[in-house]
Chains A and B, each alone.
Chain A
Amino acid sequence: MGKEAKSNWDGFSLKPRREMPEGLWMGCPGCKHMLYRSSVEKNLSVCPECDYHFRIGADVRIKHLADEDSFAETLGDLTSSDPLGFKFRGTTYKQRLRDDEKKSGSKEAIRIGKAFIKGRGVVLAVMDPNFLMGSMGSVVGEKFSIAAEMAVEEKLPFVAICCSGGARMHEGVVSLGQMAKTSAAIARLDESGGLFISVLTDPTTGGVTASFAMLGDCTIAEPGAMIGFAGRRTIAETIKIDLPEGFQTAEFMLEHGFVDMIVHRKDLRNEIARLIDYCHK
């Protein structure tokens, strides 16, 4: 292992190895190659072999997307109050929140704030798949709505990076209400003539797809991202047949007319900046 690291080896090997030091290597779910972690990270967490887009946390995403150090976060420390007092299988929702905060380094599944993308001022909302699968509870709904309102007040374009398993079960019907709330906030932004660019990344499903994610003036998807409403297992159980290849992917959504374009992660900044320029009044 050490020998290879010293050589001019370019970061990936075709042969999977049996013993791997934790964290140095990663497998690509797309092409099954073993990849050198740092080389993938340098490549915007995209597999250099097959362009598989790895899921990335909000921090990394903001680094990729916003101009350096331009992200000014709003309400970064807002946490959920656990409105239901949710308990399950001997653990609690509160405990789960604490665990995921440690795991992801974020306080909640979304981060909002103002930023610059290639010099264009935007309000940016980025969801974090590492925090309870990016699910939308009261805090996510609240922060997203505040971000939309900021965009209205300051007449800035609103860019949302969606990445979520859906509404958060642990907050029950309050989570469901967030779908209505965020959609209403986007409807207001729409009425005020503001631009909303929705970027769908892997995964965007359930209550988030069925609310703000699908309400973009422009909807961009990352290649191969899973995008849909009902979960694959639910559908398979309901209709009792195997699901077709490529079902509920970004390409499937493009085919059926629900996504404007599929954009590679390395082009995302350019494309967003370009769209903002086109829509600038």
Chain B
Amino acid sequence: MPDTVNNIAAEDHLDFENDVADLDRQMKELRRLTSIKGIDYSAETRRLHQEQVAQLKRIYSNLTPWQTVQVARHPKRPILTDYLHLMVKDFRELHGDRSFGNDRAIVTGLGQIGREKVLIVGQNKGRNTKEKVACNFGCPNPEGYRKAMAKMKFAEKFGIPIVTLIDTPGAYPGIGAEERGQAQAIAVNLAQMSRLRVPIICIVIGEGGSGGALGIGVGDRLAMLEFAYYSVISPEGCAAILWRDGSQAPLAAEALKLTSKDILKLGVIDAVIPEPLGGAHRNLHDNIYNVEQYIIKTLRDLKRTKLDNLLENRYKKLRSIGAASSEKLRRKTQAAADRIAVALQAISPRSKKVPAKV
């Protein structure tokens, strides 16, 4: 019987999945017995299989924030190259930032998703050690962000929509990165991406680590995979500062509200893309199909909007982050906006429309 639920190796089980691993071992034993002794254990296997599905459902519907972080960092979790292979047709990678080098932690290129021609910008972590070292474990340097910007400008020129796939522990903290202006590179991306005259979809597919993630994460839609995380600081970093003990990361993860469910409630993201049972690493194809469908559907919506409105909506969306979390804050913001409107009216008597105050 093909095992479609748990097609991962025994050593890839996370420490909170012991029950699932146990069932795995039992089923393996039954299969071995079947092949050696020719006894039909299919009924038992089916039962174990059902139980495993139930276990996975139970575990994955109640993941703690720290467990979510572990799933997001799972070594078998689909990374950018998987998406490029399975989701993007006819991918043409474009290299280099034209001023310093080619950062392999950020991959940019043209490709086709569904019927849409898009520019893909994504952070790549690498699968094996060699790849991981080559792309710096997914930690981009400034030239990576500048490459992304250069290619996005190119896409803007030809009206090609942009899809960014975010998966980084954070921008690289190194001497060279500081010398070449990591902060400035990210800042410029944030400002420019808010004004690019093409639709932009951003999806956090794994780790959304702070400014490094945000550096390619400003757009019309921001979505997250169900078990991805997105945070202002890594749980370890937060624990080291506030708890003065890096090993308190589970507590920090709890406090930071970094899971897709919580962030959706905070209004920072627009959608959560569901993952297959037991996380993306258990079923690559279904997961990537979900992402593909989200991109195709969202792109169709965004392309219907006029560019000026698109930009206006994007600004409003960014502008509303945090403001919506507090009624008090919103009221006061509104009051300030009203005051500005009134002041404006006083300055230019020719201004036509002043929003009516309720």
Contact = CB atoms under 8 A, between A and B. Distances in A.
Given A146-B333, A174-B322, A209-B183, A154 B343 contact: yes
A174 B210 CA distance: 11
Interface stretch (A19-27, A31-39, A77-85, A271-279): A77-85
B325 interface: yes
A174 B173 contact: no
Interface residues on B, range: 35 or more
Contacts of A234: 173, 237
Interface string A241-261: 001100110001000111000
B206 interface: no
Interface string B313-328: 0110011011101111
A207 B232 contact: yes
Contact of B187 (A86, A154, A181, A211): A211
Contacts of A171: 232, 322
B43 interface: no
Contact of B318 (A83, A89, A180): A180
Contact of A239 (B175, B180, B242): B175
Contact of A179 (B192, B211, B258, B332): B211
Contact of A83 (B188, B233, B319, B326): B326
Query: Dominant SS at the A interface?
Result: helix
A187 interface: yes
Contacts of A79: 328
Contacts of A154: 343-344, 347
B325 to A, nearest CB: 4
A200 to B, nearest CB: 10
A175 interface: yes
B191 interface: yes
Contacts of A225: none
Given A75-B336, A207-B232, A234-B173, A184 B178 contact: no
B340 interface: yes
Contact of B268 (A149, A177, A229): A177
Contact of B177 (A177, A207, A229, A258): A229
B241 interface: yes
Contact of A210 (B183, B233, B321, B347): B183
Query: Dominant SS at the B interface?
Result: helix
B133 interface: no
Given A83-B322, A234-B237, A179 B214 contact: yes
Interface stretch (A7-15, A46-54, A212-220, A262-270): A212-220
A81 to B, nearest CB: 3
Given A191-B195, A230-B177, A181 B255 contact: no
A92 to B, nearest CB: 10
A129 interface: no
Contacts of B257: 84, 172-173
A176 to B, nearest CB: 4
A229 B182 contact: yes
A53 to B, nearest CB: 21
A187 B173 contact: no
Given A235-B174, A256-B180, A256-B181, A175 B194 contact: no
B329 A142 contact: yes
Contacts of A75: 332, 336
Interface string A175-207: 111111101111110110000000000000011
A88 B321 contact: no
Contacts of A87: 255
Contact of B321 (A177, A235, A247): A177
Contact of A173 (B191, B266, B332): B266
Contacts of A145: 319
B231 interface: yes
Given A142-B323, A146-B336, A188-B315, A173 B258 contact: yes
Contacts of A239: 174-175
Given A83-B325, A88-B251, A183-B187, 13 more contacts: A138-B325, A146-B336, A176-B210, A184-B314, A210-B182, A210-B211, A228-B178, A230-B177, A230-B178, A256-B180, A257-B181, A258-B183, A258-B184
**CB-CB nearest 8 A-B residue pairs:** A81-B326, A138-B322, A230-B173, A177-B321, A183-B190, A184-B194, A83-B325, A209-B183
12 contacts: A80-B326, A81-B328, A145-B319, A153-B343, A173-B266, A180-B218, A180-B321, A184-B195, A184-B315, A187-B194, A207-B232, A235-B175
Interface of A: 74-75, 78-81, 83-84, 86-89, 137-139, 141-142, 145-146, 149-150, 153-154, 167-169, 171-181, 183-188, 190-191, 206-207, 209-215, 228-231, 234-235, 238-239, 243-244, 247-248, 252, 256-258
Interface of B: 171-175, 177-184, 186-188, 190-192, 194-195, 210-211, 214-215, 217-218, 230-233, 237-238, 241-243, 251-252, 255-258, 263, 266, 268, 314-315, 318-319, 321-323, 325-329, 332-333, 336, 339-340, 343-344, 347
